[in-house]
Amino acid sequence: EREISLKTGEAVVAALETLGHTVTRIFAGPGLDRALRAAELDVAFLALHGRMGEDGRVQGLLELLELPYTGSGVLASALAMDKPMAKKLFQLHNLATPRGYRVGRADVARAEELHGDSGFPCVVKPAKGGSSVGLSVVHDAGALVPAVAQACRFGGEALVERFVAGQEVTVGILGDAVLGSCEVSFPREGFDYEAKYKGGAQYFLPPRLSDTRRLNVESLALAAYRALGCRGYGRVDLLCSDLENDVVLEVNTLPGFTPTSLLPKIAARAGLDFPELVQGVLDRATRDESHVDDAPVPVAPRTLRVAR
């Protein structure tokens, strides 16, 4: 997801400079720790998507450097990136999510056996990743093994989920409040990388839902965001099924800031232009709480004198 990260970075740099901030570009890779130390930053604005940048590892480095950063902390970032683990937490919090299971690279040949009676169609995607890279919609058992093998190329594990027919809705969150929501409609089955970044998708703001259902979807998204312990900002993807059931797909802790990205579209409809959204994200930059309070000073027990 390097290409999308670079586009996000340049868009954010332009906005920050428009706002009067002094910006230093730092490219993630070998020697990142040395580059961060040398830059003498006040805050790190993360413009990274996918594994390493969005899964808690860079966040952990910034914690060690005691440098505030934008977006969620180490644990929430790791949980959101690991889609099967996130699903377990959604279920623990009684949040509806499509039934699914994890398949490792070593078990690709057993994919049909592991699938059992889960049925078709199903969705296969990398267990850890974003931008819909490696996503497939599988309609029969014969296509399952190739789809799982393709997904496993990106990190070694795949997530296989029950396919849910319906409207794909994404909800934007800033701080701990919902900014709004957007329906994404696309010509192909599955909002894959091509549809997401190379055109063909249609966007409806607000989604084509009743006001009551839209508010329920936004409430479900905020609950999923909180269930993973996210902070700062994020985007939650859901499906609103034809059977009036709404399910959480995933939480994006560092959603895109490219010209075609969804969070800026949602923010614009809420009255925030792009620089204002960037400033709002920057204002919420922080670190995990690591301060230990001093122990309370012991107070000598008081002797009560009772009149008799």
Asked if the peptide bond before residue 187 counts as cis, ω within 30 degrees of 0, the response is: no
In the residue annotation, 140 being an active-site residue is answered as no
User: In 3D, which of 230, 249, 233, 229 has the Cα closest to residue 241?
Assistant: 249
Distance CA 42, CA 243 (A): 49
Write the DSSP assignment of 155-206 as a string of letters.
TSEEEEEE---EEEEEEEEETTEEEEEEEEE-SSSS--HHHHHSS--EEESS
Of 54, 82, 168, 250, the active-site residue reads: 250
Question: Tokens 């925030």 map to which residue?
Answer: 272
Question: Tokens 């931008």 map to which residue?
Answer: 131
Helix ranges (H only) for the chain are 2-18, 32-39, 57-64, 74-81, 83-92, 111-115, 144-152, 193-197, 211-227, 262-269, 274-283
Of 77, 136, 181, 252, the active-site residue reads: 252
User: In 3D, which of 260, 279, 103, 115 has the Cα closest to residue 197?
Assistant: 260
In the residue annotation, 252 being an active-site residue is answered as yes
252 is in an annotated binding site: yes
Helix ranges (H only) for 40-160 are 57-64, 74-81, 83-92, 111-115, 144-152
In the residue annotation, 161 being an active-site residue is answered as no
Q: CA 69 → CA 146, 164, 214, distances in Å?
A: 39, 36, 32
Of 136, 237, 246, 261, the active-site residue reads: 237
Of 57, 214, 231, 235, the active-site residue reads: 235
In the residue annotation, 237 being an active-site residue is answered as yes
Of 197, 218, 233, 246, the active-site residue reads: 197
250 is in an annotated binding site: yes
In the residue annotation, 142 being an active-site residue is answered as no
In the residue annotation, 203 being an active-site residue is answered as no
Tokens describing residue 142: 């014969």
Q: Which residues make up each annotated binding site for Mg(2+)?
A: 237, 250, 252
Residues designated as active site: 1, 131, 197, 235, 237, 250, 252, 256
Q: Which residues make up each annotated binding site?
A: 237, 250, 252
